[in-house]
Amino acid sequence: MDQDPTRLVLVDDHMLVREGIRGILEVEPDLTVVGEAGDSASAVAVVAELRPHVVLLDVEIIGDDVVTTIQRMREVAPESQILILSMYDGPHLLQRLLGLGIRGYLLKSARREELVSAVRAVRRQDDRIILGVSRQSLARIRAAPADPGLSAREIDVLELAAQALTNAQIASRLQVTEATVKRHLSNIFAKLGAVSRIDAVNKALLAELISAPRPGGHGEGGRHP
């Protein structure tokens, strides 16, 4: 077993989140944060340069979606182990990411002890997958219907559409152009066989691809992207 400290790269678009995670990890003598990134392209570059033992990767990173980001990381640093941090507890995305060879998936509501334990396990136990998600989500993975192949960014768009946000509001939230949002919605319609935003949201909710929206949202639900 390696005795040198576990070297980590933190990837999250919120600096305060990265600072908080760094503070949790660096009080442990066997863990050290060697790099950080706030977007997909920077994350891949940092991982390629530093070749960390473990990458803590936010599932909602700016830039390429998480699937593409993981694929690129595995190309440039196949020995680095990837541990996902997420607010999302649905079985479809989890199932897809497991297929990419991630070593763990933790919710951001995890306790600090769970995070530290997961990092150590990912480094030291080659055959263990860390899943810090709900029992309901785990129980549904095997029974989940066929994944329609929505990207993490398409799921982001659907989550916001479910809150009745307009295309312009979604674009502002995701820091992309309105044309990009329309393109994502067109792809979502095609993948889900939907004919409107409302239809796409309803199908995604039934398939548990997204969480139910909070009450009180206002916006449009027209037939066109």
Structure tokens at 82: 């990837």
Residue type, 42: S
Report the C-alpha gap between 124 and 121 in whole angstroms.
5
Report the C-alpha gap between 72 and 159 in whole angstroms.
25
pLDDT digits over 42-90, tens only?
A: 999 999 999 999 999 998 888 888 888 999 999 999 999 999 998 876 6
- Establish how many alpha carbons lie within 13 A of residue 167's alpha carbon, considering only the half-sphere containing its beta carbon: 15
Report the C-alpha gap between 104 and 173 in whole angstroms.
27
| Of 28-42, 63-77, 83-97, 183-197, the least confident | 83-97
| Of 27-31, 76-80, 143-147, 221-225, the least confident | 221-225
Averaged pLDDT, 149-175: 90
| CB count in 10 Å sphere of residue 113 | 9
Determine the Cα angle at 147 with ends 142 and 149, to 5°.
Answer: 150
Q: Which residues contact 113 (CB under 8 A, 6 or more apart)?
A: none
Report the C-alpha gap between 86 and 94 in whole angstroms.
10
CB 201 within 8 A of CB 164: no
Query: If one looks up domain 152-206 in CATH, what number appears?
Result: 1.10.10.10
In this prediction, residue 220 carries a pLDDT of 44
C-alpha dihedral sign at 40, 205, 167, 89: negative
| 39 pLDDT tier (thresholds 50, 70, 90) | very high
**pTM strictly above 0.75:** no
In this prediction, residue 202 carries a pLDDT of 85
In this prediction, residue 65 carries a pLDDT of 83
H-state helical runs in the chain: 15-25, 40-50, 66-76, 91-98, 112-124, 135-141, 152-162, 167-174, 178-192, 197-206
Q: How far is CA 168 from CA 39, 161, 188, in A?
A: 22, 11, 17
Determine the Cα angle at 101 with ends 113 and 68, to 5°.
Answer: 105
Of the candidates 80, 111, 83, the residue with the CA atom closest to the CA atom of residue 12: 83
| Third-level CATH fold of 6-141 | Rossmann fold (3.40.50)
Domain range annotation of the chain:
6-141, 152-206
Q: How far is CA 64 from CA 4, 86, 135, in A?
A: 32, 16, 29
| Of 44-58, 106-120, 139-153, 161-175, the least confident | 139-153
N residues, the chain: 225
pLDDT digits over 124-145, tens only?
A: 866 778 887 666 655 555 555 5
In this prediction, residue 218 carries a pLDDT of 46
